[in-house]
Chain A
Amino acid sequence: MDLDVGPSGCCYSHISCYSLSRDSVFLLTNMAAEDLPSEFDVVILGTGLAESVVAAAFSRVGQRVLHVDRRSYYAANWASFTFNGLLTWIQQHHEESQPEEAQDWSSLLEEGEELIYLSNSKSESDSISNVQVFSFTSEEEEEEEAPSPDPPSIAEEQTGGAEEDAVKENSETESADSKEDDTKEKSEATADGDDEEQASQTEGEEPEADQPTTSAAQSQSEPIKKKISYPQLLKEGRRFNIDLVSKLMYSRGSLVDLLIKSNVSRYAEFKNVTRILTYRHGKVQQVPCSRADVFASRQLSVVEKRKLMRFLTSCMEETEEQQAYNGRPYLEFLCDQQLGDNLQDFLLHSIAMVTEDTPTEEGLTSTRHFLRCLGRYGNTPFLFPVYGLGEIPQCFCRMCAVFGGIYCLRHSVNCLVMDKETNRCKAVIDSRGQRISCSHFVVEEGYVGADRKQMATPTRSLSRAVLITDGSILPSDSDQQVSMVTVPPIAAGCPAVKMVELCSSTMTCMPGTYLVHLTCQSVGSAYEDLSPVVTRMFHTPESHDQENCPSVLWCLYFNMADGSGLEAEGHNLPSNVYMCSGPDGGLGHEHAIKQAESIFQKILPEEDFCPPAPNPEDIIYDGDNTSSAMGGEEEEKEETEDKQEKEEKEDKQEEKEETEDKQEEEEKDGAGEMEKEEEQTLQTEE
């Protein structure tokens, strides 16, 4: 076990705060195994969103928190990875899971105690499945010029049976790539000059008319733009922050409220989703949802504009007319409002985001939620965290650490020590055999064996696809759009797909590319569910007549267990053990936040859930020499600020201005708390 050595090097109680660097890695405090205290109020296993919120909430009210995760990264299935990090993750899921060495810890038991073993398999094979990767980029740097004998795609379409093999094949190719990386980079440097010459020739003459269709089409439509190659993706891999879950933050949703209330918002930055799109009649269209959108829309007639605005205003209030439709489909209600097909589709699929047979009351509730979120921070109801969703759990972990929580990654809890008489968990035994007593234990469901938990049947899962593309599905004046796209079922029985297209200014993908997340409730495997949508909306070797669509450079399909399948009650666990589910299929974060809050309230019903964190200057540190404390603090602060400034300069020069503006905007909106004031959050270390 290798814990990172923090800069303080003496004690475990302060986490170094500037060590939460941009690339989402905590440097952990220095901590030898024997240093772990043997007693905590709460031990939390798993660093997913709900667990992290719980950790922050406990630590904030003075509880002693130990927060561990057996993985080497934060946020569990909520994590974001660099491109290379994701490749490693994929590889892990292809490896055969090692059979657990069942160790016997009964020597640590006392009278009247018994052990409950947790499952600690290395690959979360139970929550992630059907991982398939396709790369449509060239292996070579000079892809356009060198006519290759084979089409540039690595993988052909896989049938269900050959799946595992295919997956292996892919991962093999990938690892091969990374080895070759170095040599390629070298050759690239020398080849560069020739490259340009050749490119200019190609532009003028288009001599390669009988090239394979992909590259020919590419060079015709966009002769100047050079296609991004696989080595480039690897080289720029650090610019990617690819989320395992795809969610957005409703600007009046429970997560945003919590971030503001707790001041955790200061640890992150957010961007507005700039537009809502939908896929209708084979075309991508913008959904007018805000007043400004409706005004500017070119697809709607003025009368439709009026009808839409009137509906949006009137549906905010409950009327008897609406109640008359209770239990009947929302679609029926919309039909009777005489809105016309256009508006009906927009309202059902893109604003309410429900299906045709969702009951009216539910449809209206989600329509209202959408509308209430509009205009708080911008013209859409959604925010997206810069650097990806994986930031959010980490922000809460940081808050927990600031208030004394202790963090260990690559560290797990192997079993619980249960008092037979009281049916309570008295202590846990960690992966190195230390017995740590605790009053409460919170655990991610993945660690709990199937025999001990109650799941909804049939088991639900989510189908996910992640695409790296070379263009936006709806090009506009600005190439920095963050789009939420709703894709209604493309055929009967198909699921409705939610798609989020992220641009490079969200710091989740390299410039010149877009990161596209697709999510739906699984019907079949992720590939079966989502590839029909991908081939229709994007250009891939399998698609036909899609030359005007953005090309997919690389894509990943996988299924993930749907966290909403975990029942709230009825688990075979000690009464002071609480389970947190993995990510659910909803677009917002309501499920996880509610779960966290209810766990907190079960344990500490009297305490405030995540009260506002105080300003750093109001915090007194024990052991600080009070007389010198002020001066020291300030010095330290300045130093750290410098460091950050440097980082910022390197990392995100272009984006800085934008963020500033955004901050001001938010202030104007009365939510100044959402801003990121780095210096305020700094804690000193002595």
Chain B
Amino acid sequence: MHGRVKLKSTAQQEEEKKKEREKKLKIYVATRDACFSKRKESICDDEALQLTQQLLSSNPDFATLWNYRREILMHLETVKDEDEIQKVYISELSFLESCLKVNPKSYGSWHHRGWVSARLPRPDWARELSLCDRCLSLDDRNFHCWDYRRMVVKMSGVPVDQELAFTDRLIGSNFSNYSSWHYRSTLLPLLHPESPEPPSPCREPPHSSLPPSPQTHSHRVCEEQLLKEYELVQNAFFTDPNDQSAWFYYRWLLGRAEREEMISCVYVSREEERVAVAFSRPVNAQSVGLLLVLDGQPQRVEWTSVHPRFKHSPVWICALPPGTISDITNEHNLTVHWTEKHTHRDCALYTGRSESWCRDSATDQELFRSELSVEKTSVLQSELQSCNQLQELEPLNKWCLLTIILLMRALDPLGYEKETLAHFQTLKEVDSMRCAYYSDLCSKFMIENTILKMEYAEVRVFSISDKNLTTLCHLDQLLLVTHINLSSNQLQRLPPQFAMLQCLEVLEADNNSIESLEGVYHLPKLEEVLLKNNKISTLADLQPLASCPRLKRLDLRGNPVTQTANIESELAELLPSVTDLLL
């Protein structure tokens, strides 16, 4: 049949393909060897450029060849004039473009492009930007391109508002791309910074010696813009509440202002002749320039963290030279300077007092309220309303539930406690994979609430029994607590941070699952430890208690350790101070 189409058989095709492949491989290997030998002899000529180009266009991830190319190009820079160099680099860029078409995620190609762009005598940044935009329109999660784009933007000084418009566009076309949301979060504070707040007059610190301290808002956004952002992000999570990008961004918007770095508490004990200092964040007191001045005299003291495990800790202690404050009839004035941050805190130890402190309490600092930075209650209230609305439509959406919890905490942590607990319960049911995370978070909030209650009651007793606690946190806030009740929770350990409870006298922790007492360490005033029905199984687990000199009463009933042979005599040896032992 003349003119009819006939097809090659599969075998024929296979055979041809095989031959083709073999031919290609041969050429490839030969070219590679030629390149290597040229590099060995450090020949930097046009032929070498051509050979490497040949190889790289089929395999753009050959890092050695890119390096060789850079060597050649740098050599050419020394022998050619600027116009010629410009030409060389321009052709390099178009070569790179073809490489990126082969593999848009090639590390080598993107890196080389960055290198070339930076060396180009007369760079055309607009072209580079449009290249990036084209790449991102094909794959908006290509992080190589995002990185390169950041470089281009930086080098060419694209105005921030233009970049913000760029994120608008990307988010508009796909709001599930967290890269764009994140980029937005870096731009907004630059474009719409929050105006510096005047110090709030209503809340005078209890110790007037302290200067009023407005919170720092270095990464915050002005409220007007913030409201627009809320609208945008709400559109996203109402459209698709299961998409985490928008929720994460929302969390950032609602995010916490950075706390000011300060000394939050100074405590002095006459009896033990020591000082404890709490900071607003964990520090290494040995290296931050901490200075203790006693009655006008700088003291040479050695700061130690509460537990040897910590190099950084929010609480540091030091022993004063013996005899300096032991006389109860003397009055002393103490100042701790944090020279690095130009801040300090005073503390007066009056006649007849055995201890004294000076601090901003959690309530003073609105520590837990300001988990969300927007102070305007009405704004938060309306945010809570829209989330509640969404939750009615999507009762089982975990992101929504979690956000509601956060908003409730920001608004009124104690008032919403019941709802919060109910929501946590739902969360654990709908997202059982993250059950432990929710339990820990819930524990944290319960502890915060208990701290607030304690502060309002102005007592030094911290009682949080039967709240399903799985973890302990904010222990630096409990520096002054003398009596703690953690009974009937689900704690598995008293972590090293527990050693921050420097004033603790009574520890109640019955009916938990405690296995480790690591944090009951060098607590100078601890007298009573109640650990009925826990999971302490060996004597070694009790070892930390030996560092507490005043321990008198210990309840270990219902712990596996009580089954150990000779337990009584062993304990008597380990803890000689204990006079009242329950096994």
- The interface of chain A, by Cβ under 8 A from chain B, is 11, 13-14, 62, 291-292, 294-296, 302-303, 305-307, 309-310, 402-404, 614, 618-623, 661, 664-665, 668
Contacts and interface: CB of A to CB of B under 8 A. Distances in A.
B290 interface: no
B13 A306 contact: no
Contact of A305 (B5, B6, B235): B235
Interface string B160-178: 0000000000001111000
B3 A13 contact: yes
Given A291-B239, A302-B235, A668-B138, A619 B7 contact: yes
B7 A622 contact: no
A305 B239 contact: yes
Nearest to A60: B5
B394 A306 contact: yes
Contacts of B390: 302, 306
Nearest to B232: A295
Nearest to B235: A295
A620 B1 CA distance: 12
Contacts of A614: 7
Contacts of A623: 2-3
Nearest to A298: B235
A558 to B, nearest CB: 40
Contacts of A621: 3, 5-6
Nearest to A613: B5
B2 A13 contact: yes
Contact of A622 (B2, B134, B172): B2
A319 B418 CA distance: 37
B4 A618 contact: no
Nearest to B390: A306
B139 A292 contact: no
9 A-B pairs with the lowest CB-CB distances in the bound complex, closest first: A13-B3, A302-B238, A306-B238, A620-B6, A295-B239, A305-B238, A294-B239, A618-B8, A305-B239
B108 interface: no
A664 B236 CA distance: 27
B140 to A, nearest CB: 11
A14 B3 CA distance: 7
Contacts of A302: 234-235, 238, 386, 389-390
Contact of B393 (A303, A402, A404, A618): A303
Interface size range on B against A? 20 to 34
Contacts of B239: 291, 294-295, 305-306, 309
Interface in B130-187: 134, 137-139, 172-175
Contacts of A303: 238, 389, 393
A14 B238 CA distance: 59
Contacts of A14: 3
Given A291-B240, A296-B172, A622 B235 contact: no
B3 A404 contact: yes
A350 B389 CA distance: 28
B324 to A, nearest CB: 65
Contacts of A403: 5
30 contacts: A14-B3, A291-B240, A292-B173, A292-B174, A295-B236, A302-B234, A302-B389, A302-B390, A305-B235, A306-B238, A306-B239, A306-B241, A306-B390, A306-B393, A307-B393, A402-B5, A404-B4, A404-B5, A614-B7, A618-B13, A619-B6, A620-B6, A620-B8, A622-B3, A622-B6, A661-B134, A661-B137, A664-B138, A665-B137, A668-B139
B7 to A, nearest CB: 5
Given A292-B172, A310-B393, A668-B139, A618 B240 contact: no
A661 B238 CA distance: 31
B175 A292 contact: yes
Interface string B234-276: 1110111100000000000000000000000000000000000
Contacts of A404: 3-5
Given A292-B173, A295-B172, A619-B8, 7 more contacts: A295-B240, A303-B238, A621-B6, A622-B1, A622-B3, A623-B3, A665-B138
A513 to B, nearest CB: 28
A272 B240 CA distance: 24
Most chain A CB inside 10 Å of its own CB: which residue of B8, B137, B390: B8
A559 B146 CA distance: 54
Interface in B306-350: none
Contacts of A622: 1-4, 6
Contacts of A294: 239
Most chain A CB inside 10 Å of its own CB: which residue of B4, B13, B241, B386: B4
B133 to A, nearest CB: 11
B412 to A, nearest CB: 24
A29 to B, nearest CB: 11
A620 B3 contact: no
A430 B241 CA distance: 66
Contacts of A402: 5
B196 to A, nearest CB: 33
A644 to B, nearest CB: 21
Contacts of B235: 295-296, 302, 305
Contact of B3 (A11, A309, A618, A665): A11
Contacts of A305: 235, 238-239
A622 B2 CA distance: 6
A75 B140 CA distance: 41
Interface string B1-24: 111111110000100000000000
A621 B3 CA distance: 6
A635 to B, nearest CB: 20
Contacts of B2: 13, 622-623
B7 A618 contact: yes
Nearest to B176: A291
Given A295-B239, A306-B394, A620 B7 contact: yes
Interface in B392-412: 393-394
A17 to B, nearest CB: 13
A307 B173 CA distance: 21
A62 B5 CA distance: 8
A614 B12 CA distance: 14
Contact of A62 (B4, B8, B236): B4
Contacts of A661: 134, 137-138
A619 B5 contact: yes
Contacts of A13: 2-3
Contacts of A310: 393-394
Contacts of B5: 402-404, 619-621
Most chain B CB inside 10 Å of its own CB: which residue of A296, A404, A661: A296
Nearest to B12: A618
